[in-house]
Chain A
Amino acid sequence: MFDLLPHLLNGLVLGLLLALIALGFMLIVGLMEQINLAHGSLFALGAYLALALTGPNPPLPSDLAALWLQVPLGWRYGIALIVAPCLAGIVGIAVEFCMRRTYGSDPLYGLLLTFGVALVLEEVLRLTWGTRDHVLPIPQSMSGGFIFGDLIWSTYRFYAAGMAAVVIGLVWLFIEKTPYGAMIKAGAHDSEMVRALGVNLSKLRLGVFMLGTMLAAFAGIVVAPIWGIRPHMGVDAVVPAFLIIVLGGVGSFWGAVIASLLVGLAVGVSGAYASEWSLLSMYLLLVAVVSFRARGLFGKKSMLEV
């Protein structure tokens, strides 16, 4: 009937974007064993902060704003990609400081705290930027489409997928190849051991949570030009993130990445052949996997299970 290949390619691109969305959530849940329900709101916060930096009305004094608007959009976009996650990271630090009170007790409290934070953040976004939709401007060179195999493809989606791939790679390097990563991993599995080694556990947790927050915000910026910006956009991110973590298995980096690609392929291909099932397909995939592999594809036993 028609070619499958474009749909596989599209599924992979979608999968990379989903992996980026899930990455910050995965780090916090895998390494800190905390479910961060504010993930979606932080995702939205990143997009809004980037909008403030690249949009037509930067939150600066008027002459400074005029000067800033002189900067080419490409540069502003690039700067926003770095600065906005850092700003969101500060919010993450504040949340982690609050969260400290819940360590050592039922992990449920951390989850509830972040649920409350999510409610507050979404309302703050609505009060600050209004209920209307916004569009994140992107440089001309990244927007538009290109023709490949007789089909028009979105240029930006490939840039976005590329950025996702790079960030996924960088995070992997950080965890696997740096001493910090080793400490973080050790801390997740045996906090006593880490303390005995003289590592400051609370700083470690702060670092992980901040990183997770920054990744959520980064994903928000990357995805915003495709999904649009609105106060409740976080909900669209948090559900696939959950799903991917369960599917891939808590605590498994590559599990999450592979699960994202699988979900992307399932949604992409079912979108072409059985369109009305495309969203349900990811849930069905999940049910199918957890029926056979209770901890997901690569899940390890989690301390949260005890």
Chain B
Amino acid sequence: MTGTSSDARLITPTMIAAWLVLATVPLWISKVGLYPYIGVEILIWSIYALAFNLVLGVSGLPSFGHGAFFGIGAYAFGLTQFNVAANLWVCLIGATLAGAVAGLLVGLFIAHRRGIYFALLTIAFGQIFWTISVKSHSITGGEDGLLNIVRLPVNLGVVAFDISDNDSLYYFVLAVFAVVAVVLWRLVNSPYGRLLSAIRQSEVRTAHLGYNVWLYKLSIIVISAGFSGFAGGLFAMAQRSAFPDVMNLAQSGLVVMMTLVGGGLVSFWGPVIGVIVFLTARDVIGAMTNAWMLYFGTMFVLLVLFRPDGIAGAFKLLVERWKARGATPSLSSAPRSG
């Protein structure tokens, strides 16, 4: 990961700066031609992409079926709301647990796999969950979707906030995003996180050192799935409904794409950058032409070819060049990991 001394800190200056900027978003987002909902969507997908990157970037496990956990979280949020308790915290816990349980189920089958088998199996499991969600219409509403999910008030015991409009939902999701980012940052920089990085670099070596690699891999799959389910729960609230489409292969591919575009393999914040760029570009280009995928796909191909470390990688390269300027001409190429 970023590998500097700042890793040890609980909260880095970067985070504080980012949160301050993000907190002002509702004030100016309309003026730059965007709208609050896209801000909500960006934050939710950022949580999802950070959770996904625990598996991909941190542990080196290429999952192509993460949409399943996100989608299951969305359904669980709605179903908890309708059948258990219409309380925001209960529903979010329900979404997280559902994601984690699905992750455990899948993890038991795939945690001892890596590389290509891992990727292919995640695709297969993603498809299974997608098929089941379309088929179980009495529970999920099938293609029609699980509708009328309510944006529940944020009840803090003494006070309760209403988050039914997009601006207040944005602030709630931002607060949640801040907490999740700190938690994941700590996780990644803990001894546990460093061991996952070791597994990514060489699973065999880590196993020889006496660690139970399988258990570590299983646990990170469960944690990642749990946070993805949590993000899915937030998404159900944003959409006021839950649908199977976020679970399909193409949508699962998108989170991989966003994570890598941003530079998830070299930076903790890479996935967030990727989400911002992808969702903003999709909205802006999509408003101009229906063939937006052509342009975005081409951009993506070029990025993989010439800047495989994504935007964060390119940024690091730039910093290195900047530092090397005046000194000996630098031959450094983008640092690559994974």
Q: Indicate if A touches B (C-beta under 8 A).
A: yes
Q: Which of A126, A245, A304 is within 8 Å of B115, CB to CB?
A: A304
| B62-A111 in contact (CB<8A) | yes
| A246-B305 in contact (CB<8A) | no
Q: Is the interface of A mostly helix, strand, loop or mixed?
A: helix
Q: Is A162 an interface residue (CB 8 A)?
A: no
Q: Is A286 an interface residue (CB 8 A)?
A: yes
Contacts of B112 in A (CB 8 A): 294
Q: Which residues of B from 211 to 267 have beta carbons under 8 Å from A?
A: 249-250, 253, 256-257, 260, 265
Complex: how many Å from CA A236 to CA B208?
Answer: 42
| A119-B121 in contact (CB<8A) | no
A305 (CB) vs chain B CBs: closest residue? B115
Max count, chain B CB within 10 A of own CB: residue among A37, A283, A291: A283
| B301-A105 in contact (CB<8A) | no
- Nearest-CB distance from B292 to chain A (Å)? 8
Q: Is A108 an interface residue (CB 8 A)?
A: yes
- Nearest-CB distance from B246 to chain A (Å)? 16
Q: Is B116 an interface residue (CB 8 A)?
A: yes
Q: Is A150 an interface residue (CB 8 A)?
A: no
Q: Which residues of A from 3 to 44 have beta carbons under 8 Å from B?
A: 29, 33, 35, 37
- Nearest-CB distance from B302 to chain A (Å)? 8
| B297-A305 in contact (CB<8A) | no
Contacts of B135 in A (CB 8 A): 276, 280
Instruction: Return the CB mask of B141-174 against A: 1 if under 8 Å, else 0.
Output: 0000000000000000000000000000000000
Total A residues in contact with B, Cβ cutoff 8 Å: 49
Q: Which of B204, B301, B338 is within 8 Å of A108, CB to CB?
A: B338
- Nearest-CB distance from B74 to chain A (Å)? 21
| B301-A246 in contact (CB<8A) | no
Complex: how many Å from CA A5 to CA B304?
Answer: 50
A295 (CB) vs chain B CBs: closest residue? B117
Max count, chain A CB within 10 A of own CB: residue among B116, B291, B304, B308: B116
**Besides A101-B308, A127-B294, A246-B117, 13 other A-B contacts (C-beta < 8 A):** A35-B116, A112-B257, A115-B256, A115-B257, A116-B257, A117-B301, A120-B294, A243-B124, A294-B112, A295-B117, A304-B117, A305-B115, A306-B203
Chain A interface (Cβ within 8 Å of chain B)?
A: 29, 33, 35, 37, 98, 101-102, 105-109, 111-113, 115-120, 122-124, 126-127, 235, 238-239, 242-243, 245-246, 250, 276, 279-280, 283, 286-287, 290-291, 294-295, 299, 302, 304-306
